[in-house]
């Protein structure tokens, strides 16, 4: 796991690190699913997400918002995402399973992904992201 939950007064703040930008988006995805559903998640059902955005921050926010939407509307809990960035476009193949209240109801409801406090950067160790999930 290359993400951690940071202290925040009202929402869930996540810090993620990864060697590539593709992997950073994947870590943010995993953090969102962990917050919402915990660690007991399996695969078997796929969904594809393709998004364009004007900048990387918008692309990440739109991607995570779409994951949240698909998860809630289709009743799916995702365990993996194969994420590929090409400029300001993302193509992601998500792998998951139907929501099971006995296994997946232990998490925290996430209402949305926030631009507030979002920061994305790169240093000698790779990419880093701070992001807030509205709960």
Q: Assign residue 108 the CATH number of its domain.
A: 3.55.10.10
Q: Note down the domain range covering 89.
A: 3-134
Per-residue pLDDT of 89-105, as tens digits, reads 999 999 999 999 999 99
Q: What is the DSSP string of 32-94?
A: HHHHHH-S-----EEEEEEEE-SSHHHHHHHHHHHHHHHHHHHTEEEEEEEEEEETTEEEEEE
For the cut 80, the answer to whether the pLDDT of residue 113 exceeds it is yes
Is the pLDDT at 1 greater than 60? The verdict is no
For 89-102, b/e burial (b = at least 16 CB within 10 A) is ebebebbbbebeee
Residue 11's pLDDT is 85
pLDDT category at 129 given cuts 50, 70, 90 is: very high
Tell me, what's the pLDDT at 8?
60
> Residue 86: is its pLDDT beyond 50?
yes
**Closest listed residue to residue 57, CA positions, set 132, 134, 135:** 132
Q: How far is CA 70 from CA 14, 99, 131, in A?
A: 21, 12, 20
Report the helix count and the strand count for the chain, using DSSP H and E. 3, 7
List the structure tokens of 86.
């090409």
Judged against a pLDDT cut of 70, whether residue 62 lies above it is answered with: yes
* pLDDT at residue 33 is higher than 50: yes
Name the residue among 49, 98, 91, 48 with its Cα closest to residue 72. 98
Overall domain count for the chain: 1
pLDDT at 88 over 70: yes
């Amino acid at each position: 796991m290359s993400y951690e939950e940071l202290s925040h007064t009202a929402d869930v703040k996540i810090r993620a690190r990864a060697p590539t930008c593709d992997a950073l988006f994947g870590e943010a995805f995993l953090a969102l699913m962990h917050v919402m559903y915990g660690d007991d998640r399996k695969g078997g059902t796929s969904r594809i997400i393709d998004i364009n955005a004007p900048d990387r921050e918008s692309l990440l926010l739109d991607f995570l918002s779409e994951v949240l939407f698909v998860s809630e509307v289709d009743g799916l809990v995702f365990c993996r995402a194969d994420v590929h960035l090409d400029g300001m476009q993302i193509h992601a193949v998500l792998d998951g399973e139907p929501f099971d209240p006995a296994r997946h109801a232990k998490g925290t409801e996430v209402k949305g992904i926030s631009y507030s406090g979002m920061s994305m950067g790169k240093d000698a160790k790779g990419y880093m992201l701070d992001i807030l999930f509205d709960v």
